[in-house]
Structure 1
């Protein structure tokens, strides 16, 4: 006995093993006793259901022939002229039907369809076939359908013959007879009976159907289902149907499974006993380590605090990415739509308008991407509020244009009413404002199948503040009252049926509410199920000097002649930068690699170099260092799509004077040129 372990621990552990083990033995014994009856019941039930399916298949094919016979009788024999067309259709519809033949009242086969493989049967006198004629004549005189035994046909092959008598004005005119082989249809019915074997004999004891090698199946009669399948009015001419397990060792396999189950149960019982034993011993050891656990508790508390902080940061990051991924769709959709419209305008004004919309949407998308790429914002969950000049009423008109096609496709009327005297410019976050309005209008379009959407915009200016009131009213499906309070929560859809009909992740309204609160505004909703909804938004911005009708002109720049070098391995980027500089009256040399840039800087003194950061041979950081060694006065501006703080800091550290992100913002470029090369007020480039 181990030192320090009380004897009762062994006894209790033994009980924890014994009780589950006894339960396992009881279940094992009960299942073993009940298994034969269970398997027998399974065979009987399966056989009964299979028999009904097989009968239904035969009767369905027989009914097709009976329908043809009825058409002949209803037309007093006139339909004999069209029976082949009907027979052709029946052969396509009934897989078991091989051919259809007409036998006259004297027992002579007058015609067969199809003829080519059955020509030897035409003209055959069945009155000379004792095994065939007597049964055929007897059933025909009674006016009932006759199903023969499994026959070898004169034209070759084996089949059942189905004779349906034809009576016109109570006079026997012969039979419509079909040759049928049910094996393929029976195989399809048996497809789901892979664990069973089936055989069927006709009334003469001839086996005409065998599934899953019945001869190799188990032979115990206790597990065999056998029944008579009565196919016509003659009770003495029934088929014999037999079904059993296809595997002769099925019982041994079932026993193997329950033996394995018993072994697993005993192992688990032993494990329970051992766990009980070790658990009690662990309790003894726990008492000895109580003091140590106190210290560990303090450490765990500290770790828990750290974990909670990490979780909060992760949640903030997840929420930010979720919002941004949804917001990106709006301007991207506008860009794609406007791209399709460009070239379809009827005049220059329309083309300029489309390009203006495209430019605005591109900037919105760029702002969203910049938010995602700034890791410091993502990890803190903080999204900055921009303070730029824009016209709120114009954005509403743009959103209307973006959605014209989908409104037209759905047949929805759209009414935009603007109640404002001057259509003021405001200072605020244009992208977030546009996202809010677009989300609400898109939501209205999504859930409105007919009727109209009305948008009312009101604007009031007072004390250098512009107060906006926007209402979006639709005639859509509405919102149930019990879900009205939850409609602004994340991932909320009205119900499963609606989710199947309307796509979306259920975060559009949540994003709109979050952005409204970020802009210190208010959003509310009124709705009646089945009649529509009305969303109301209230926002306040600083008022800008101009109103929306004021033209934003840019005086031509006056700047000294500069020797400029543009370095980028992407030719399209170089073209864009060169054209932008040309609009400012500047020309630039071009280098496509870091090595080429260093070489050209050694041969010619450049005032300004635009340096791409990521290049295949020498990256922009290394090229900057080498150029700065020989030309310290050269102004080098970093140029990259990488907008992280670490990338910017690295660029400044290696000698860059400033760092611009792609795509280049014209205002930022002009600001940088003014800072480094503007001479006096008259020579500065004015934005």
Structure 2
């Protein structure tokens, strides 16, 4: 039996004994007899009511035992509930500890991620700054090399000298192309590439792309072809600059790796489950690509074989840049190739047909005889070689240009205050005061008409951030070094005419 059952039965029986004792004493008192065992026995044997009362201890003991059983059950239930509550409490405490640990872990991870993000941003900014500085430091002397080489090519030289100078030009242009590829890849990875979607005339666009490299192909005896499918509309929506960049990369590669045969650019439009797509293909009859190299050629600085770089040159960045541009446009790029027979590089991008854009008359930039440029020019440039190059360019193109030189932005402002000029050619990175600060001062602090003088950024900085900053402070045009003399003259004429 359970503890409470025994306890309650005992105390019930003990309480029940009180009733026979009281009844017996009362009976003896009523009978006026003394208390003795004989009288007690006689009273109990003669009074039936006492018999009933004598059963009270038994009855109360049984009744109390039931109450004890209920108490035992209640205690068991309480004990069970307490056990459940204790287990749940322990479980909740464990979960709470786990959650607290997870929260602490997430906080640590969040702090680490934030630190990693800051570190990555710092590394990216350091990389961008390094690339920009590297580009600036390389382009500045290259500007002199290319510029003076161009000037020398226009002088009376013998065939051997011309061949040497053309080799210098090709090498310089190759170095510029490598720098441009590295900077372009950096901009793409940093998410600094912008797209300008607008109507494109199909025939004019694809013919123009092919015409850009047609001479390079014909110099190798290649047949350069354009094939436009009837499914291609007269015009479609796209980014002219980026599509041209991709196609020129693919066509240039095709020419580079093809010694005989042809290079064909084809285009067609087709409907897919996810919308209309434009498919572009560049097919060549060149050396082809091994099957195990078809995927890796789209990786950074990768070509099919290490010997390819030695034989054909290049950095292996062109296809990487093309792939990233196409992916940003929501498309895909791939290649099908047979070793020794040729390759087909293909591109598929989302595209929509549109109405043919209206034909706008192109702005005719003045590239007339040197005498047509009659201007007073202020050149702010700290590099002596670039100042000498500018002087030589203007002397060759015209005798009617008056040019003054400022070593930095501060000198340029002082000279502009003292003298009237038609235009300023402003370098961006100069000691004491850079081109940005000088331009901002001219636009905000000086009075008209000097405040409105045309300013052309003439710089070795090619990063888009620098370009945007230049336009933000009020520069009119942006020319990167090394530049073509005719390009510079054209921009000067255009700015002066618009002013």
> Which structure's residues are more often helix, by fraction?
2
Structure scoring higher RCO (CA < 8 A, sep ≥ 6) equals 2
Larger Rg: 2
> Which structure's residues are more often strand, by fraction?
1
